[in-house]
Structure 1
Amino acid sequence: MTTGRDDDALTWDGDDDPTLDHGAASDEGDGSETSAHSSPAELPKGFTAVGKGSETLGSADAPVAASVSKTPSHAPAATRDRQPMGNGALIAFGVLGGVYTLYAIGWLIGGLRLQGKAQYLVMDVMYQGSLWLAVLAPLLWFATTLLLTRSSRAWVRFAWLAAGVVLLLPWPFVMIGAIGQ
């Protein structure tokens, strides 16, 4: 039985390309791996490496010992501890986004149903302005909450979104409804 690359479960045309073999240099065992890790790649003067793997890059301005630290001290704590959102969180944001969209539609329908009754209380221009502010309020709350709580924990973001669900309930739609009573 052969143990070549042709026996792999998935082979594609071009898999034999030598530029795709990333581990070929370390397989030789000539010590090139240790020399590559002892001196990090160097950036030009004035440039600073940021992001994943930046701690392994050196700068022409900084000494080599400071550039090869295991945990960068200049990185904020939020970026080191930040985890990507899970599937449950993404689904919950989608459901809450749908609820806020339905609230905006509810404010529009309920506000348009009240338009004839509210002409006695305020002028038409004032009513139209307040109607569109009421329609945009749920969408603005959702977008603002997502924007301002980016670096917060997930429970803080969901708490603010839940508060918006309670506070922005479309009362004209709930009280009068789409049919009108």
Structure 2
Amino acid sequence: MATEPDDDALRWAGDTDPTLDAPVAGAAARPREDPELPDGWSVPKPRRDRADPVAVTAPAAGSFALVGMGVVAGIYFLYTVGWFLSASRVGNPLADPVGAFMFSLGAWLAVAAPLIWFGAVVWLTDERPRARAGWLIAGVVLLVPVPVILGVGGVS
């Protein structure tokens, strides 16, 4: 049975070490004035690029934009399901192996097309919200699973 108080369970040996104290607010951000580096070495300057979250100050998307993105993403998901149903129902009418492979490849690329389109548009129009909306709406029109809507592509 331990004779120490309960607070000792929340402490580590060396908690009172002054070298473990948090640095002063501006001290960590400033590089040392005179670094002790060998000849030919230098301290790199911080880069401000897309990977730096402080440098990128793009405006946050509004609620309407986020809801719209969610609705369009749902439409693209339903398109993928529709193309999957069409691709799984249609029989391969070609007898030669190359033609049969190309037919199957085209069918499965049709299944992947809505997801690829959505991902490419979101990735490539990162800083242009109007272009993003236009390309997403164009994809909604162009990638409609016509075989499901027309009821063709039955089991063969």
Q: TM-score, normalised by structure 1?
A: 0.53
Q: Are residues 1:174 and 2:128 paired?
A: no
CA drift at 1:94: 1.0
Task: Specify the alignment match of 2:46 in structure 1.
Answer: 48
Structure 2: 5+ residue stretches without partners: 1-24, 33-42
State the partner residue of 1:21.
none
Pair 52,136 (structure 1): closer, same or farther in 2 beyond 3 Å: closer
Residue number among 128, 131, 149 corresponding to 1:156 in the alignment: 131
Report if aligned partners of 1:100, 1:142 keep a CA contact under 8 Å in 2.
Answer: yes
Q: Which residue of 2 aligns with 1:133?
A: 109
Q: Percent identity?
A: 33
Q: Secondary structure at the match of 1:42?
A: coil
Moved over 6 A (4+): none
What's the secondary structure of 2:90's corresponding residue?
Answer: helix
Q: 1:88 to 1:52 in 2, by over 3 A?
A: same
- Following the alignment from structure 1 to structure 2, what is the Cα–Cα distance between the partners of residues 46 and 107? 51
Q: Distance in 1 between matches of 2:153 and 2:140?
A: 20
Higher relative contact order (CA 8 A, sep 6+): 2
| Alignment: residue pair count | 116
- 1:100 partner amino acid: Y
Q: CA RMSD in A?
A: 3.2
Q: Which has the higher helix share?
A: 1
